[in-house]
Structure formats: C-alpha cells, structure tokens
Copies of this chain bind each other. A is one copy, B any other.
Amino acid sequence: PFESKDARPWTGPSLSILLRDLRHIQNSKERSAKLFEWLIAPVAPKKFFSDIWEKTPALIRRHNSNYYKGFFSSEDFDRILREDHVNFGVNLDVTSYFDGEKETHTPTGRALPVVVWDFYKNGCSLRLMNPQAFSGTVWNILSILQESFGSMVGANIYLTPPGNQGFAPHYDDIEAFVIQLEGKKCWRVYDPRSNEEVLPGIPSRNFTQQEMGTPIMDTVLEAGDMLYFPRGFIHQANCLPEMYSLHITLSTYQRNTWGDLLHKLFPGALDLAIEDDVEFREGLPLDYLDYMGVQNSEREDDPRRESFNKKVYNLMRKLLKYAPIDAAVDQKAKDFIHDCLPPVLTKEELACTVYSAPARWRDGGPRNVVLQIRGSTRIRMLRSNIARLCGENGSILLYYTIENSRDYHKEEEKCIEIDPELADGVELLLCSYPQYIKVDSLPAGSLDDKISLAAALYEKGLLMTEYPLLPKRD
C-alpha cells in the first residue's frame, strides 16, 4: 500500500475557493481533472492512475483537519434531517456491530432528527445514502467528477458514535475514496484473499474476524485525510472510544470492466457473423453428440473431437472481425448517461442556456418568446458528457443527462431521436466541445435546418450559446 510520508501539514485551496475557480474553466473535463487533483493532493493524478488505481490502497495524510471543509458536515446532516424528507431504509440506515455481529435497526417512515439522534446516542452508526440528493455541494462535486471517470460516481456518508463500529469486515465491488470529514476513525485494510477476489465483480458477504489475515494497513484516519482502496480489498473501521467520526465514501467503476464490455459485445458479434458468413449457419456434424459433451470428454484420442474443437476455435477467431466494438461501447455509454447525475450549472453557464431564456408572462400574455438563434450564433454542448449519440435498431438516439434525477434512476433514461440527416451536425457539436461553433457551420442542410437543429438542442437544455440570446421583439 501507498502512504504519503510527509509529516508537515498539506494545505491547498479551500473547497469554496476551488469550486469558485473551477467555474471559470470552460472544459468540464479539465474542471473535473482539477477537482480530482485537489481531492488526492499531494499525490499527482498521473502517479495515482499509474501506480495505485485498481492496484493498491493509498493513504494520504494531510495533518490539516480543514482540508475538506465545506464538503459535508455533521451540521449539514442535522439540517437535512430537519429540512428534507429523509426516509429510513431508502435514504438512511441505522446499524451496529458488536461482538462480531452486525445488526440493522432501521425503522420505516420519515427520519426525523429526534429519532435519528436517539439511535446515535445509543451507539448506532448512521449511513446516509445518496447524499447528492440532499446536499448541493455533494451533488456538484460528484457531477463534476463523473466527467473524469466515464462511470457513475456515487457517495455514502457515515456518522459513527465514539467507540463503535457500524459494519462487519467486507469488500466492495467499487473503487472507494474514503474522505474523513470530522473526527477520526481507525481503519484496517486487508489484501484480497485470493486471485479470484482481486477486482471482483460482486461485493462480498460479511466476514468474521478469523477469515482475514493480517491487515496490510492499520491506521487512524483523521479529518482532512483520505484513504483509497480498490474493489476486493477487505476493510473495517471503528471509532476510538473518545471520538466520533464523519466520513464520505466516494465510489466509482462499478461494473465498468473489459468483461462487462465483452458481455455487451458478444451477442451482437455473433448475430452479425451468423448473418454475414454462411459457415456459422451450416449444420453441426451429424454425429457430434457421439464424441462431444461432458460424457465424452475423456475420449481425448478421438480425432473428431480435435477437429470439432478446431472448427469452434476457428469460428471464434472469425468472430473478431465482426465485433461491433463501437456499438457495444454505445451500450455502455447509454447506461452511463442514465447513471449520471444531472449537471450543476454555473451562473455563467446558466445565463447562456434555455433556463435563462427571457420568455415571461407579463401583462396578460407571454413576452419574449421567440429567440434570436441565427446562423452566426455560436454554440457548444453544455458539458463534455451531457449527451451521447447511439445507434439503435436503425434509429439514431441522443441520450442525455440533463433531465436525470438526483436520486439514482428515479427518472427513466431520456433521449430524443435524431433525423439521420442531422446526425452529422450533432456529432460535430459533440466533438467540437469545448469550442463554440457557428450555427451555420453545422453540416445540416439549409440554414433553416441548421437553426432548427440548434433550437431543438437549445430548448432541451443541452447546449449553451456564447452570449445570452436576445429575444425578438414581440
């Protein structure tokens, strides 16, 4: 495991200043990179992704309890309970772990502070799920980070009273960034127990203390510190007797592996091959059941087996040339777009979108309804990852994130169908990001067509203009 050694405090910009600065970065990818850099500083992202990511746990110690200030506080937790409709079971879990036994105490209904704090005082751990639905800052941070990962970034918040542990040892199926916000917590991390459990695709059951070996990391995380560990690394954490703990765990890369891509790739590849190459449509040998199958697997000397296997290998090899890799990536991309949080727009961005369009009801009727999109208007997508063009059953669909909910998948996936003649125009817009391009430079037929494409995407909230649009006088 990696551990940052520096004993001096690490100071960086405060989160509020950082977020303010990020607003001036035009490219959402770049913005995301800067935020991630801050998140793991002083480790360099390049180093992180080459030496640590998916490989080994990393402890970044900062001796600076204010480093993550403003991210999320126990006061935020309290306020959310009072002001929002937090539901037990759906948004908040109550658990305890004593003598090697994890228990869940979550009741039903709305989680009101007086009830929640009573559990806490009685030694229960609280887990706030989906904090991005309640905290604008968490939402903003996650929605920025998802641009870097090409995979959903989620979060859970854990508040544990002094002397307690909320969960049994286990490993997860996601890359975890544990960000200590307040208090301290003692963490023990263990190697995956076998090769099969390296980078696993499903989370583990709860383990007993006997099932793990020696921890490869045993440390106390303090406010301002961060601990990363890849999926498969077993971990457990408990509070010291005298100090509570508040941390947020960011998670990403769930089901985002080569294997997941291949699962999307194969059925399509095989269908293409069958359609195109008659060899796949030829009948199996009349007698193959006589020498193939598990009951015949010991007939190693039967030359028909070898020839059958060769034929299969040969066809599998042929399949390579039918692999519709881009189409499989589109299926992953479409899932990603649906998983995404909707973007948090900056004031500057907002001013140039449909959300700030001047149309208003005034004096008995709507005014400023017609917008001045012209050939010379310069436009760009609102974010690098705000939308994705996918081919599906002969249609071209533009999937987008802007109408997603802050609650995971509470809205169905959203898309609009794109006229094939306009697909090049959309593609140009997607690829040009973050550059602005002029409406009349879109490859989309007549000027009217270009304007109407731009207007459609603008009205869906997918693109911004370089300057706020002026209304036509009406």
User: Which residues of A are at the interface with B, using a C-beta cutoff of 8 A?
Assistant: 49, 53-54, 74-75, 77-78, 82, 85, 109-110, 112-115, 117-118, 120-121, 148-151, 175, 182-183, 195-196, 198-201, 244, 253, 256-263, 265-267, 270, 273-276, 278-284, 286-290, 292-298, 308-309, 311-313, 315-317, 319-320, 323, 325-327, 329-330, 332-333, 336, 354-355, 357, 359-361, 364-366, 369-371, 384-385, 388-391, 403, 414, 416, 427, 430-431, 459-461
Contacts and interface: CB of A to CB of B under 8 A. Distances in A.
Nearest to A120: B366
Nearest to A122: B369
A261 to B, nearest CB: 6
Contacts of A253: 283
Nearest to A79: B361
A459 B112 contact: yes
Contact of A198 (B270, B278, B332): B278
A364 B294 contact: no
Contact of A357 (B112, B196, B327): B112
B262 A312 contact: yes
Counted per complex, copies of this chain come to: 4
A456 to B, nearest CB: 10
B183 A364 contact: yes
A109 B150 contact: no
Given A258-B312, A262-B270, A360-B113, A281 B199 contact: yes
Nearest to A75: B361
A289 B336 contact: yes
A359 B312 contact: no
Contact of A112 (B279, B311, B354, B385): B354
Given A284-B150, A292-B326, A112 B355 contact: yes
A326 B354 CA distance: 55
A326 B293 contact: yes
A114 B278 contact: no
A77 B361 contact: yes
Identify the 6 closest CB pairs spanning chains A and B, nearest first. Answer: A117-B366, A78-B361, A259-B280, A259-B274, A199-B281, A292-B329
